């Protein structure tokens, strides 16, 4: 397993002190299971490395927005990074604070801007000139000044999957590096905006530090130019994107990663600025798994299939960009293993969760899809009118239901048929 919170005891997989078999029996499947200990350790890896430095951690809500998960981070003093008013509402409901929340995203509406500004959000990460004008008008209508940071696109290759690369010229995100200095001048001239920072986000599932250092170097050169134009940049937002181990990846240690970036910024003569980190996947990815039940074992001419009750609507990553997740049995059997594709019941050929896996299993057995804590439940859907999974957090020897399983009747409760 990828995290010590998930381990075998006498051949049965456990999350902390609770067996996966008992979780399936109590809560049913498919079931998302999170470890509070794993969440806590991942957050402290960032927070401890930031201690005594001018640095702050803002949890990327888009990776996992369950209220209980966010509350675990809020209790430890985390800030948050949001990309919608819905995520903002979740942060507040989970005990987070507006003044410790950064509002990112390429398409904020005027209504979202107004709501966040009225609540006292920490900063808006702005991504275009039209967005600057819109935010200035909203702030003017409220008689306020909106704190802004431009998300600059540094055109750095993060060496990751193209669907999760965000810092290239061809991506929709950020202000083009060549236009950034002039865009800052426009922002500075708008009476209801206050320029406070600069930021970037170059991608996700990044397993090397060098792309971050390349991006930071470009940002700091730009900072020096901007300040020579009469503005003050108080913080540098280095974004998130640090990868995790799904298979054989070897991402840097979180503490080493944070220290390397902070030291690099200080050596460049910018240690007076606060540095924002916005981790998501590296906090929650290996703190969660998806528990599923084998309905049928189906032999075929070219492939054998293990048909499970989880599907692409529960975990979209494999179908979306052929992402790899380790898949292990809950109970280790002393039997011959066979090669299976792990597939779900959704009516799509793309409904697969794992391919060519050697497993010793029987119908009715339980499987665990590892490293599913990030972009798992948050990207799930009701395709094929399938109710979404329940979510559980294990804390020591206790398991708490933190999201009830949907019922089918809920899925069309807001619909109506035509009158006669």
Q: Which residues form the catalytic set?
A: 347
* Residues linked to residue 327 through DSSP beta bridges, in sequence order: 369
What is the rounded distance in angstroms from the CA atom of residue 168 to the CA atom of residue 23? 43
| R_g over Cα of the chain | 23
Give 71-100 as a DSSP string: HHHHHTT-EEEESSHHHHHHHHHTT--GGG
What is the rounded distance in angstroms from the CA atom of residue 150 to the CA atom of residue 156? 17
Dihedral of the CA atoms 11, 15, 18, 20 (nearest 10)? -60
Give the strand pairing for 366-369 and 288-298. antiparallel
The torsion angles phi and psi of 335, rounded to 5 degrees, stand at -150, 170
Give 287-317 as a DSSP string: GEEEEEEEEEEE--SS--EEEES--TTT--H
Residue ranges of the binding site = 241, 278-281, 317, 321, 348, 375
What angle is formed at CA 284 by the lines to CA 279 and CA 287, rounded to 5 degrees? 150
What angle is formed at CA 206 by the lines to CA 273 and CA 96, rounded to 5 degrees? 55
What is the rounded distance in angstroms from the CA atom of residue 131 to the CA atom of residue 11? 55
What is the rounded distance in angstroms from the CA atom of residue 319 to the CA atom of residue 323? 7
Residue ranges of the binding site for pyridoxal 5'-phosphate = 241, 278-281, 375
Give the number of residues written for the chain: 420
Residue with tokens 């996966």: 20
CB 222 within 8 A of CB 175: no
């Amino acid at each position: 397993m990828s995290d010590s919170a998930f381990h075998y005891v006498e051949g049965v997989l456990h999350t902390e002190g609770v067996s996966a078999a008992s979780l399936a029996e109590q809560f049913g499947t498919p079931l998302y299971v999170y470890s509070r200990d794993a969440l806590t350790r991942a957050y402290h890896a960032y927070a401890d490395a930031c201690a005594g430095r001018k640095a702050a951690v803002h949890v990327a809500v888009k990776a996992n927005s369950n209220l209980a998960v966010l509350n675990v981070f809020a209790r430890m003093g985390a800030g948050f990074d949001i990309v919608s008013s819905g995520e903002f509402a979740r942060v507040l409901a989970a005990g987070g604070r507006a003044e410790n929340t950064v509002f990112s995203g390429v398409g904020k509406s005027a209504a979202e801007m107004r709501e966040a500004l009225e609540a006292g959000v920490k900063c808006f990460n702005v991504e275009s000139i039209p967005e600057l004008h819109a935010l200035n008008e909203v702030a003017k209508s409220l008689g306020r000044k909106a704190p802004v940071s431009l998300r600059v696109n540094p055109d750095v290759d993060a060496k990751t999957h193209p669907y999760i690369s965000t810092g290239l010229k061809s991506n929709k995100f950020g202000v083009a590096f060549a236009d950034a200095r002039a865009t800052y001048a426009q922002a500075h001239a708008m009476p209801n905006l206050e320029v406070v920072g600069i930021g970037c986000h170059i991608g996700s599932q990044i397993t090397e530090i060098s792309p971050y250092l390349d991006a930071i170097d470009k940002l700091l050169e730009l900072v020096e130019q901007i300040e020579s134009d009469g503005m003050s940049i108080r913080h540098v937002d280095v974004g998130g994107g640090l990868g995790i181990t799904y298979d054989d990846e070897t991402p840097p240690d979180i503490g080493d990663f944070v220290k390397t970036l902070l030291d690099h910024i200080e050596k460049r003569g910018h240690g007076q600025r606060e540095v924002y980190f916005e981790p998501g996947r590296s906090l929650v990815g290996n703190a969660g798994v998806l528990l599923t039940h084998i309905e049928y074992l189906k032999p075929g001419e070219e492939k054998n299939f293990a048909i499970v009750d989880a599907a692409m609507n529960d975990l979209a990553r494999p179908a979306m960009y052929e992402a790899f997740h380790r898949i292990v049995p809950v109970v280790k059997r002393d039997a011959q293993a066979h090669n299976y594709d792990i597939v779900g019941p959704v009516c799509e050929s793309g409904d697969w969760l794992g391919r060519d896996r050697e497993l010793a299993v029987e119908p009715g057995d339980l499987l665990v899809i590892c490293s599913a804590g990030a972009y798992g439940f948050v990207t799930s859907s009701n395709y094929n009118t399938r109710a979404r999974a329940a979510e559980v957090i294990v804390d020591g020897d206790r398991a708490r239901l933190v999201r009830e399983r949907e019922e089918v009747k809920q899925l069309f409760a807001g619909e109506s048929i035509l009158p006669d």
